Structure 1
Amino acid sequence: MKFTNAQEVIEYLYSLPHLHPKNDLSFIKRLLKELGKPQDKVKTIHITGTNGKGSTSYYLANLLKKAGQKTGLFVSPYVYRFNERIQLNGEDISDHDLVNTANIVQAALEKIKRQDPDFSLVTFEYEVALAFVYFAQEKCDYAVIEVGIGGEHDKTNVIMPEISIITTIGLDHEQIIGPTIQDIAREKSGIIKHARPVVLGNVPQDVLPILETKASEKHAPVFRLGQDFTVQVNQQIIYQTRQTKLKFNLRPQVEAYDIAVAVKAFSLLNLKLDAFQIETAINQTTIPGRYYVLQKQPLIVLDGAHNIQAMTNLLNVIHAQAQKRQGHLYVLITMMKDKDLEQVFDLFNSADEVLLTSLNYPRVAKKNDFPISVQRRYNYEGDYRTGFTKLKEKMTSNDILLVTGSFYLVSAVLNWKGKCDAS
């Protein structure tokens, strides 16, 4: 089979299964070996974490680019289009390069299948192979690699990175890598490699020993937020080590953690950027689908928060904003069926007007997938566009509309409304 356009590639990817019967790396390793081990031809930084891994990836990639490094970035999910998943120096992979790279991967896959007809790939393995082949072809200096889920068994965990990063650990994907937060920490610690530094972000104290024990076993130097570097949020974000003090434009507290982790990791690479260049690179970084301001008056914010930890952090910021503006908070939300639905909805204030919605996507919750208590508490509008419009029409200038619960919903609204909504 030979692909002729990008849409064919994307449709083929989504026709593949999502899971193997056994959760190991044998399939992706065999494919990459057939492709000449492209993952070993580029220096990498590996990033995991329950939240913040995407933001940290973007900040770090921008710092590397600013330092004159040819920089690859592999992230998920995408907000506008699939090509965002694989970037080079801040630009999405072109349709032309996507097709060419897919044909290289497909040829290797078909060669293996001729020897072993039962061999197969899942969607994410194919995407990982696309990224590594593309970055190797482009002769990247560095590639920033965000895991899909977890760490040890994640399909990206086939690299010997220059640095490993664990942003934070909380409850998410418990059915796959849980059920406890300790299980999740052990899974994420799997990206720690022998004698390679590991940067730890805002990690809960109760699982910190798990990560530190793994680092000790691997003789991996540890750099921890709050111990080896600090970050404070006041009128600015202030990052400090014993030798360095940097100031960044104000962003939510959780973004400050991600910025600090990215800056610390970058400093370990000994690339030359002065303080002003580092501050500029961070301030210029935009994170798709994370605290995206669609409209300022009245305020409309889009954020893909989809688990307890991320939603708690987001609502802390949004509720403070609503109080400051003396306005009302409207929320348009849908979530995946497999998330902690009840616990997330317990985070809203009684005064918040929450409207449940849905999307035409198999994993997205429909009305009856929400817990009975949530269905009783909140109205449901199956069409997100109708729901968005209804809430927007109720707003006064002081109010806030938050679209959240899923990157799929954020993506749908952004692609419907465009990058800014002047109306």
Structure 2
Amino acid sequence: MKFTNAEEVIHYLYSLPHLHPKNDLSFIKKLLQQLGNPQDQVKTIHITGTNGKGSTSYYLANLLKKAGQKTGLFVSPYVYQFNERIQLNNQDISDEDLVNVANKVQAAFEEIKQEDKEFSLVTFEYEVAMAFVYFEQEHCDYAVIEVGIGGEHDKTNVIVPEASIITTVGLDHEKIIGPTIQDIAREKSGIIKKNRPVVLGNVPDDVLPILVKKADVEHAPLFRLKHDFAITTQNGALKYTDDKRSISFDFRPQVEAYDIAVAVKTFLLLKLKLDNQEIAAAIDQTQIPGRYHILQKEPLIILDGAHNIQAMSNLLEVIHAEAKKRHSHVYALVTMMKDKDLEQVFNLFNQDDQVLLTTLDYPRVAKENDFPIDVQRRYNYEGDYREGFAKLKEKMNASDILLVTGSFYLVSAILNWKGKGNAG
């Protein structure tokens, strides 16, 4: 089989299964071997964490590019188009290159299948292989690799990175890598590699020993936020400090501040040449798709893909503080995947927040009856997200805030509907 356009590639990827009967790396390793192990030809940084891994990936990729490094970036999910998943120097992979690398992966896949009829690939394995083939082909100096889920068993865990990052550990994907936060920490610790530095972000104290022990076993130098480096808010700006540097950045919400600190610390470990002003410029210029995306200023419309308890808690803290400052109401258009902790997430909203539930035409997205009974009783439901958006917007005063959240798919749908800057 040979692909002729990007639509064919994307359609084919989504037709593949999502999970193997056994959760190991044997399939992806066999495929990469057939492709000549492209993942070993590029220096990599490996990033996991319950939240913040996407933002950290973008910040770090921008720092590397600013330092003159040809920089690959592999992230998920996408907000505007699939090609965002694989980037080179901040540019999405072109349709032509997407087809080209997919055909290389497909040829290797078919060669293996001739010898092993049982061999199969899941969507994410295919995407990971495409990214590595592309980064090798383009002679990247560095590639920033964000895990899909977890760490040890994630399909990206086929690299020996220059450094590993664990942004934070919280509850998410408990059915796959849980059920406890300790199980999740153990799974994420799987990206810590022998003699390679590991940078930890805002990790809860109750799981810190698991990560410290793994780093110790692997002789991996460990750098901890608030211990070896810090970021603080001063006069409306952020300030990064470690034993050698002090760098100021434009203000971002606290949760983004942690991601900035982790990205900067990791970048500094690589000993590439950027001065403090250049580091600040690279961070301040970084735009993270689907994260605290301001669609319109008056009334304020914010899109954010927060989709678990930790992310939603952080986001609502920022939104409620802003609403208090403005003496305004918060309206929220929300949908979520049905496998999330729906009840706990909705308990984070204030009593007087006006929440409207919605859905999307996507298998994992919650429909009306997937929301807990209490949530269904508390909030109205609108099956068409566009109608829901328009209804909430009609109710708002100029000082009010409309938040679109719960899923990157919803953020993506609204952005693609409204265009990159038009909320009319």
Give the TM-score band, short-chain normalised.
Answer: over 0.9
Paired position in structure 2 for 1:221: 221
2:123 matches 1:123: yes
Paired position in structure 2 for 1:212: 212
Using the TM superposition, give the Cα deviation of residue 283 of structure 1 relative to its aligned residue in structure 2, in angstroms: 0.2
Q: Tell me the secondary structure at the aligned position of residue 129 of structure 2.
A: helix
> Could you give the per-residue CA deviations for residues 182-206 of structure 1, whole angstroms, max 9, x where no partner exists?
0000000000000000000000000
The residue correspondences of 1:3-402 to structure 2 (distance < 5 A) are: 3-234=3-234, 235-402=236-403
C-alpha distance in 2, partners of 1:326/1:414?
A: 27
Paired position in structure 1 for 2:421: 420
Q: Tell me the secondary structure at the aligned position of residue 382 of structure 1.
A: coil
Using the TM superposition, give the Cα deviation of residue 422 of structure 1 relative to its aligned residue in structure 2, in angstroms: 5.4
C-alpha distance in 2, partners of 1:172/1:149?
A: 9
> Could you give the per-residue CA deviations for residues 251-291 of structure 1, whole angstroms, max 9, x where no partner exists?
10000000000000000000000011000000000000000
C-alpha distance in 1, partners of 2:244/2:172?
A: 36
Q: Tell me the secondary structure at the aligned position of residue 349 of structure 2.
A: coil
> Could you give the per-residue CA deviations for residues 281-339 of structure 1, whole angstroms, max 9, x where no partner exists?
00000000000000001100000000000000000000000010111000000000000
C-alpha distance in 1, partners of 2:233/2:41?
A: 39
C-alpha distance in 2, partners of 1:421/1:355?
A: 22
Using the TM superposition, give the Cα deviation of residue 233 of structure 1 relative to its aligned residue in structure 2, in angstroms: 2.0
C-alpha distance in 2, partners of 1:72/1:161?
A: 13
C-alpha distance in 1, partners of 2:36/2:99?
A: 19
C-alpha distance in 2, partners of 1:252/1:110?
A: 47
Aligned residues: 423
C-alpha distance in 1, partners of 2:113/2:88?
A: 31
Using the TM superposition, give the Cα deviation of residue 228 of structure 1 relative to its aligned residue in structure 2, in angstroms: 0.4
Using the TM superposition, give the Cα deviation of residue 243 of structure 1 relative to its aligned residue in structure 2, in angstroms: 1.2
Using the TM superposition, give the Cα deviation of residue 22 of structure 1 relative to its aligned residue in structure 2, in angstroms: 0.1
> Could you give the per-residue CA deviations for residues 330-381 of structure 1, whole angstroms, max 9, x where no partner exists?
0000000000000000000001000000000000000000000000000000
C-alpha distance in 2, partners of 1:318/1:266?
A: 30
1:260 aligned partner, one-letter code: A
Instruction: Flag structure 1 segments of 5+ consecutive residues without an equivalent.
Output: none
2:388 aligned partner, one-letter code: G
> Could you give the per-residue CA deviations for residues 364-418 of structure 1, whole angstroms, max 9, x where no partner exists?
0000000000000000000000000000011101100000000000000000000
Q: Tell me the secondary structure at the aligned position of residue 9 of structure 1.
A: helix
1:52 aligned partner, one-letter code: G
C-alpha distance in 2, partners of 1:307/1:414?
A: 21
Q: Tell me the secondary structure at the aligned position of residue 45 of structure 2.
A: strand
C-alpha distance in 1, partners of 2:34/2:369?
A: 46
TM superposition outliers: structure 1 runs of 4+ over 2 Å: none
C-alpha distance in 1, partners of 2:265/2:394?
A: 44
Q: Tell me the secondary structure at the aligned position of residue 165 of structure 2.
A: strand
C-alpha distance in 1, partners of 2:277/2:351?
A: 44
Q: Tell me the secondary structure at the aligned position of residue 300 of structure 1.
A: strand
Q: Tell me the secondary structure at the aligned position of residue 251 of structure 2.
A: coil
> Could you give the per-residue CA deviations for residues 209-245 of structure 1, whole angstroms, max 9, x where no partner exists?
0000000000000000000000012310110012100
C-alpha distance in 2, partners of 1:404/1:237?
A: 25
C-alpha distance in 2, partners of 1:243/1:72?
A: 28
1:397 aligned partner, one-letter code: A
Alpha-carbon distance change, 335 to 422 in structure 1, aligned in 2, over 3 angstroms: closer
C-alpha distance in 1, partners of 2:103/2:358?
A: 38
C-alpha distance in 2, partners of 1:53/1:34?
A: 29
C-alpha distance in 2, partners of 1:110/1:242?
A: 53
